[in-house]
Amino acid sequence: MTVSRRAAKDRDRLLVAVLRSLFDGASTSRAAAQLARLPSADQIALLDRARRLEVGPLIARRLLEMDGLAPEAIAAARRIYGDNLARNLYLRAETKDWVGRLAVAGIPCRPLKGVGASLLLFDDLGARQSADIDLLVRPQDVQAAHALAVSRGFAPACLEYHVTDPDSKAIHLEPREVVASYSIDLHWSIEMPRLVPIDHADFWTEPPSAASGMASGSADAAPPLDLVGALFAIHLWRHGATLKTLVDFAAFVHRFDDRIPAIRCRLKPAGAAAGLDLALALAERVLGVRSRFARRRPVRSLALPWLERCLGRPFAERGPYFGWLVLPLELDGALRPLRRLLGRVSRPVVRDDHLHLGLRLRRVGQVVKRVASRGEAHAASSERPPVAD
Amino acid sequence: METSRWRISRKTAYELIQDEAVALNLQTGLYYRLNAVAASAFDRLAEGADVEALVDRLVRDYDIDSVVLRRDLEDLLSDLEKYGLIEPVP
């Protein structure tokens, strides 16, 4: 192993140790001692690595609480945390604005994850990094919500996307004719219905709970906690087990462990309870967060070392189909993952209870072709020299 | 200082964290970091305190010389107004 690779590995170990200290106070002094031994350039490199893994503000905040940070690193950490807090203040105001505008248009809406999750999981608006605003509306309101977003200068990122596609879960909207530094994911389902058909009707029927205030700190739009926990578990697999999604899930378990049985009940009918058990095992193995309701040795625990290695790879650097390798791990049984993935890939355009074998085969062919061409494009872009250092 | 009472502008979003605060102008996107004393002053402005009451309170809480505090506070309020984070109450 080269010196630089060993240094990178040590840095990643320290990063995880700092994250572990969020959940286990006893490990703080060990992480702080390791941190204090690092030269300031390495401390700044640690912050940069955390930023690439989408946990920059959380690590920055934690490091600022520890002794042994060099003045340059303190300045960098304060900047990372302050920038994120300011951005989250902006996103919180924008989320509130969207919820208000949709309500005026008669469209009930629930913010998903986002800045509210930072308060829910870490009691700190600036701790969690949010890229965009996720809004959930009822399926019958999607067209109207989409039209409202378009009228406010947002447009679908992908023109082929069909707002009414019942197999999809959301439409990604980018700002086009408006100055906004965020995109919007307009959801009508919390997961692709054919892959994980989870019932999320309680987002609309459950009485508000102040503890789960994911919506800009407002209890009015707060979904039930176990549904929120299920969302974090699903999100972990949907994002191919990134460090950020694992920390989110672990923080939820750390705070609301008593909700785990209810989350299992929600995921079981969707055939995704195995994902919860594996997520709990991963949270315990990597971050030391142990649930009282974890099942000993889930069958798929063989995948844990590989998943742990995956955590060190930033989401943006994973390649277009990485998520599809990880996602089946959340589905129960041996054949269900294959069946669901095939069902997703070969879904018919026409829905009339006929088999449409030709259409399905043609779709599979198109997907295979797309995978191959994206794979080539990905390989070509990896070989391209960097534009600048 | 001519104005004795200020309020947080409606286009300002702010958050107190531990012993400091970040105040963001939602229109310009500029944000201002406030240290412990400034954060405390900002929070009290949000509650409607006037400058005199603010000085009295901060001198008590932070054991700072009142002349120095008054001068720093004037600078702070002037900066916050310049960035559109607070506005004078007529």
Of A86, A93, A181, the CB nearest to B22: A86
Find, in chain A, the residue whose alpha carbon is nearest to that of B14. Answer: A89
Considering the domain architecture, whether residues A311 and A335 belong to the same structural domain is answered as yes
CB contacts < 8 A, A to B, total 31
The minimum CA-CA distance between A113 and chain B, rounded to whole Å, is 19
Quick one: CA dihedral B57, B62, B67, B69, positive or negative? Answer: negative
Considering the domain architecture, whether residues A221 and A313 belong to the same structural domain is answered as yes
Considering the domain architecture, whether residues A335 and A277 belong to the same structural domain is answered as yes
CB–CB contact A90 B15 (8 Å)? no
Nearest to A19 by CA among A70, A58, A67: A58
Considering the domain architecture, whether residues A246 and A317 belong to the same structural domain is answered as yes
Is residue A47 one of the residues assigned to a domain?
A: no
Is residue A301 one of the residues assigned to a domain?
A: yes
User: What are the chain A neighbours of B21 within 8 Å (beta carbons)?
Assistant: none
Of A78, A82, A90, the CB nearest to B29: A90
Considering the domain architecture, whether residues A249 and A386 belong to the same structural domain is answered as no
Is residue A287 one of the residues assigned to a domain?
A: yes
Q: Name the β-bridge partners of A154.
A: A175
**What pLDDT shows up at residue A160?**
60
Is residue A71 one of the residues assigned to a domain?
A: no
Last residue of a domain, one of A345, A360, A381: A345
Q: Return d(Cα A298, Cα A20) in angstroms, integer.
A: 22
On whether the CB atoms of residues A10 and A42 are closer than 8 A, the answer is no
User: What are the chain B neighbours of A126 within 8 Å (beta carbons)?
Assistant: 15, 17, 22
Give the mean pLDDT of B66-89.
92
Considering the domain architecture, whether residues A237 and A341 belong to the same structural domain is answered as yes
CB–CB contact B17 A125 (8 Å)? yes
CB–CB contact B13 A89 (8 Å)? yes
Nearest to A175 by CA among A144, A141, A152, A143: A152
Pairing of strands A133-137, A184-187: parallel
Which positions in chain A have a beta carbon within 8 angstroms of at least one beta carbon in chain B? 78, 82, 85-86, 89-90, 92-93, 124-126, 181
CB–CB contact A86 B26 (8 Å)? no
The minimum CA-CA distance between B24 and chain A, rounded to whole Å, is 6
Considering the domain architecture, whether residues A332 and A350 belong to the same structural domain is answered as no
The minimum CA-CA distance between A225 and chain B, rounded to whole Å, is 24
Considering the domain architecture, whether residues A255 and A232 belong to the same structural domain is answered as yes
Is residue A236 one of the residues assigned to a domain?
A: yes
Considering the domain architecture, whether residues A200 and A335 belong to the same structural domain is answered as yes
Residue A336 belongs to domain spanning: 194-206+217-345
Query: Per residue, what are the HEC states of chain A?
Result: CCHHHHHHHHHHHHHHHHHHHHHCHHHHHHHHHHHHHCCHHHHHHHHHHHHHCCCHHHHHHHHHHCCCCCHHHHHHHHHHHHHHHHHHHHHHHHHHHHHHHHHHCCCCEEEECHHHHHHHHHCCCCCCCCCCEEEEECHHHHHHHHHHHHHCCEEECCCCCCCCCCCCCEEEEEECCCCCCCCEEEECCCCCCCCCCCCCCHHHHCCCCHHHCCECCEHHHCCCHHHHHHHHHHHHHHCCCCHHHHHHHHHHHHHHHHHHHHHHHHHCCCCCHHHHHHHHHHHHHHHCCCCCCCCCCCHHHHHHHHHHHHCCCCHHHCCCCHHHHHHHHHCCCCCHHHHHHHHHHCCCCCCCCCCCHHHHHHHHHHHHHHHHHHHHHHHHHHHCCCCCC
**What pLDDT shows up at residue B20?**
87
Find, in chain B, the residue whose alpha carbon is nearest to that of A89. Answer: B13
Is residue A180 one of the residues assigned to a domain?
A: no
Give the mutation candidate from B33, B42, B85 for the A interface (greatest A CB count, under 10 A). B33
Is residue A7 one of the residues assigned to a domain?
A: no
Considering the domain architecture, whether residues A285 and A385 belong to the same structural domain is answered as no
Q: For the segment A216-270, what is each residue's pLDDT rounded down to a tens digit?
A: 444 445 678 999 999 999 999 988 899 999 999 999 999 999 999 999 999 999 9
Q: For the segment A287-323, what is each residue's pLDDT rounded down to a tens digit?
A: 999 999 998 777 788 999 999 999 998 888 887 678 8
Is residue A85 one of the residues assigned to a domain?
A: no
Pairing of strands B86-88, A133-137: unpaired
User: What are the chain A neighbours of B34 within 8 Å (beta carbons)?
Assistant: none
On whether the CB atoms of residues A148 and A105 are closer than 8 A, the answer is yes
Considering the domain architecture, whether residues A325 and A282 belong to the same structural domain is answered as yes
Of B13, B14, B33, the CB nearest to A82: B33
Give pLDDT tens digits along chain A (389 positions): 566 888 888 999 999 999 999 999 888 888 999 999 999 999 999 999 999 999 999 999 999 999 889 999 999 999 999 999 999 999 999 999 999 999 999 999 999 988 999 999 999 999 999 989 999 999 999 999 999 999 999 998 876 656 667 778 899 999 987 778 899 999 999 998 888 999 888 888 755 444 444 544 444 456 789 999 999 999 999 888 999 999 999 999 999 999 999 999 999 999 999 999 999 999 999 999 999 999 877 778 899 999 999 999 888 888 767 888 898 899 998 888 888 888 777 776 656 666 677 777 777 787 777 767 766 665 555 454 433 33
CB–CB contact B22 A93 (8 Å)? no
Q: Return d(Cα A231, Cα A28) in angstroms, integer.
A: 29
Residue in this structure with the two tokens 């997907």, named with its chain if needed:
A367
Q: Return d(Cα A96, Cα A210) in angstroms, integer.
A: 16
Q: Provide the 8-state DSSP code for B80.
A: H
Quote the pTM value: 0.87
Tokens coding A349: 């355009």
Q: Cβ–Cβ contacts within 10 Å for residue A72, how many?
A: 12
Going by C-beta distance under 8 Å and a sequence separation of 6 or more, which residues neighbour residue A306?
Answer: none
Considering the domain architecture, whether residues A367 and A386 belong to the same structural domain is answered as yes
Q: Tell me if ipTM is over 0.90.
A: no
CB–CB contact B14 A85 (8 Å)? no
Nearest to A293 by CA among A273, A311, A271, A310: A273
On whether the CB atoms of residues A340 and A194 are closer than 8 A, the answer is yes
Q: Provide the 8-state DSSP code for B24.
A: E
Task: State how many domains chain A has.
Answer: 2
User: What are the chain A neighbours of B15 within 8 Å (beta carbons)?
Assistant: 85, 89, 125-126
Find, in chain B, the residue whose alpha carbon is nearest to that of A81. Answer: B22
